[in-house]
Amino acid sequence: MKFRLGLSKLRDELLNELSNAKVAVLCNQASVDENLTNVVDILAGSRAKLIKIFAPEHGFFGAAQDRIAIKNSTHPKYGIPIISMYGDTADSLMPKKEMLVGLDIVIIDLQDVGARYYTFVWSAALMMKQAAQAGVEIWVLDRPNPISGIVEGPVQEDSYLSFVGLYPLPIRHGMTIGEILSYIAREYIPQAKLEVILLDGWKRDMWFDDTELLWVPPSPNMPSLSTAIVYPGMCLLEGTNISEGRGTTRPFEVFGAPWIKSFELCEKLNELKLPGVKFLPWRFTPMFSKYAGQTCDGAMMFVTDRKVFRPVLTAIAIIKTIHELYPEKFKFINPPYEFETEKLPFDILCGTPEIRRMIEGGSKIDEIKDFIDGNAREYQAKLQKYLLY
């Protein structure tokens, strides 16, 4: 079966069902079909009454950097209100009920990148929760998980749920956004009126470049599929004082700090023989974010075999190695982080304090691997019944 997006099926088969319906859409600049036509353009050119556009983190145009509050605006072509779902307070993350009253359907079309802490899916979940309260239908136009159906990394403890993981999932969850929302609806929001417009021709062993779609960066620091492949692990560096490469042209693929010695670090990392990855000594100067304007030493990582590469394990090994080499310099940074003001950002990202404790306690990397694998395996069995492909 030929690959087709949920959006393409909406365009070709379902627009008549929306005739005269009052519709809102949660989307951004990457919500496009195979011809790069945005879902807003498709809906605006149909008989549906497109009333509102909701936008996730980074804004409708994907122009804002991470953790930057976005204001409401107006679509420059259609004059339709754009309502931000990422402001400067936790309350801004969920649309107010009155914003949905009078709507018939909210359409969600967002490209996830396969990692639990990528916030788009949580904006979608909060929209679904509020739509359920308002009695409004949700249509999710499914999109592929760009990094395949492989699962890795721990599931959050209940007390570590946050906007980088509102409901329990492994870090690398291996699901599409439609599957995740189906799981959340059935487990936590049974009153949700959810319909998933399925992909055609997608299989769990497919990567984004197997679909022949063009990669449209879903956020400013997700410029390529290569970035998405390493992101489920390398985002953990956000919880440390190591630069994760923001402010460079290769975010999450380069990392370092002014106090690291590149050759020493890469020698140690390459000695670990982590599956599917090699490290090259690298020097860079971030233009913004951590160490802006300062020269950093570190590494560039090269994924040599994406099928065996373990992004979460790799990032933990990087952090553990830097912690051991530079104990006086390395730090887990303090909150706030993504509207969490008490728990450490690294623990929030991991969904548990155990990994940090194992790193600080000198646990071997194989012991940490056993911990994250066991946790993910247990949950993978639970999620099996929600898989749509």
Which is it for strands 49-55 and 22-26: parallel, antiparallel or unpaired? Answer: parallel
Cα dist. 123→287, 341, 365 in Å? Answer: 29, 20, 34
* Within a domain: 166: yes
Residue 252 binned pLDDT confidence (cut-offs 50, 70, 90):
very high
Residues 189 and 106 in one domain: yes
Which residue reads 């980074």 in tokens?
58
Q: CA geometry: angle at 155 spanning 154 and 156, to 5°?
A: 115
Residue 376 binned pLDDT confidence (cut-offs 50, 70, 90):
confident
d(CA 208, CA 202): 10
The arithmetic mean of pLDDT across residues 127-153, rounded, is 98
Among 217, 247, 270, residue at a domain's last position = 217
Whether residue 129 contacts residue 93, with contact meaning beta carbons closer than 8 Å, is answered with no
The arithmetic mean of pLDDT across residues 292-304, rounded, is 99
* Within a domain: 386: no
d(CA 337, CA 105): 33
Domain of 28 in residue numbering reads as 6-217
Whether residue 137 contacts residue 105, with contact meaning beta carbons closer than 8 Å, is answered with yes
Residues 108 and 78 in one domain: yes
| Residue 386 CB neighbour total at 10 angstroms | 17
* Within a domain: 300: yes
The per-residue pLDDT of the chain, averaged, comes to: 97
Residues 209 and 232 in one domain: no
Would the pTM count as exceeding 0.85? yes
What residues have CB less than 8 Å from 341, skipping those under 6 apart? Answer: 335
Is the pLDDT at 17 greater than 90, yes or no? yes
Task: Show the 3-state SS of the chain.
Answer: CCCECHHHHHHHHHHHHHCCCEEEEECCCCCECCCCCEHHHHHHCCCCEEEEEEECCCCCCCCCCCCCCCCCEECCCCCCEEEECCCCCHHHHCCCHHHHCCCCEEEECCCCCCECCCCHHHHHHHHHHHHHHHCCEEEEECCCCCCCCCCEEEECCHHHCECCECCCCEEECCCCHHHHHHHHHHHHCCCCCEEEECCECCCCCCCHHHCCCCCCCCCCCCCCHHHHHHHHHHHHHHHECCECCCCCCCECCEEEECCCCHHHHHHHHHHCCCCCEEEEEEEECCCCCCCCCCCEEEEEEEECCCCCCCHHHHHHHHHHHHHHHCCCCCCECCCCECCECCCCHHHHHHCCCHHHHHHHCCCCHHHHHHHHHHHHHHHHHHHHHHCCC
Residues 78 and 183 in one domain: yes
Question: What is the pLDDT at residue 219?
Answer: 97
| Residue 87 CB neighbour total at 10 angstroms | 13
Residue 377 binned pLDDT confidence (cut-offs 50, 70, 90):
confident
Question: What is the pLDDT at residue 378?
Answer: 80
What is the count of structural domains for the chain? Answer: 2
Query: The domain spanning residue 147 has which CATH number?
Result: 3.40.50.12170
Is the pLDDT at 374 greater than 90, yes or no? no
Residues 76 and 188 in one domain: yes
Position 341, amino acid: T
Is the pLDDT at 242 greater than 90, yes or no? yes
Question: What is the pLDDT at residue 290?
Answer: 98
Residues 55 and 157 in one domain: yes
What residues have CB less than 8 Å from 384, skipping those under 6 apart? Answer: none
The arithmetic mean of pLDDT across residues 163-168, rounded, is 96
Residues 202 and 234 in one domain: no
* Within a domain: 385: no
The arithmetic mean of pLDDT across residues 330-346, rounded, is 96
Per-residue pLDDT tens for 167-215? 999 999 999 999 999 999 999 999 999 999 999 999 999 999 999 999 9
In this prediction, what percent of the chain has a pLDDT beyond 70?
Answer: 100
Token readout for 115 is 């990692």
Residues 159 and 245 in one domain: no
What residues have CB less than 8 Å from 29, skipping those under 6 apart? Answer: 38, 60, 61, 62, 216
Whether residue 56 contacts residue 123, with contact meaning beta carbons closer than 8 Å, is answered with yes
Residue 381 binned pLDDT confidence (cut-offs 50, 70, 90):
confident
Is the pLDDT at 328 greater than 90, yes or no? yes
Residue 375 binned pLDDT confidence (cut-offs 50, 70, 90):
confident
The arithmetic mean of pLDDT across residues 142-148, rounded, is 99
Query: The domain spanning residue 245 has which CATH number?
Result: 3.90.1150.140
In this prediction, what percent of the chain has a pLDDT beyond 90?
Answer: 96
The arithmetic mean of pLDDT across residues 14-43, rounded, is 98
Is the pLDDT at 100 greater than 90, yes or no? yes
* Within a domain: 1: no
Residues 39 and 182 in one domain: yes
Residues 191 and 58 in one domain: yes
Which residue reads 């066991």 in tokens?
374
The arithmetic mean of pLDDT across residues 255-263, rounded, is 99
Residues 229 and 363 in one domain: yes
* Within a domain: 384: no
What residues have CB less than 8 Å from 378, skipping those under 6 apart? Answer: 155
The arithmetic mean of pLDDT across residues 262-268, rounded, is 99
Is the pLDDT at 93 greater than 90, yes or no? yes
Longest dimension (CA), the chain: 65
Question: What is the pLDDT at residue 142?
Answer: 99
- Kindly report the length of the chain: 389
Among 199, 217, 235, residue at a domain's last position = 217
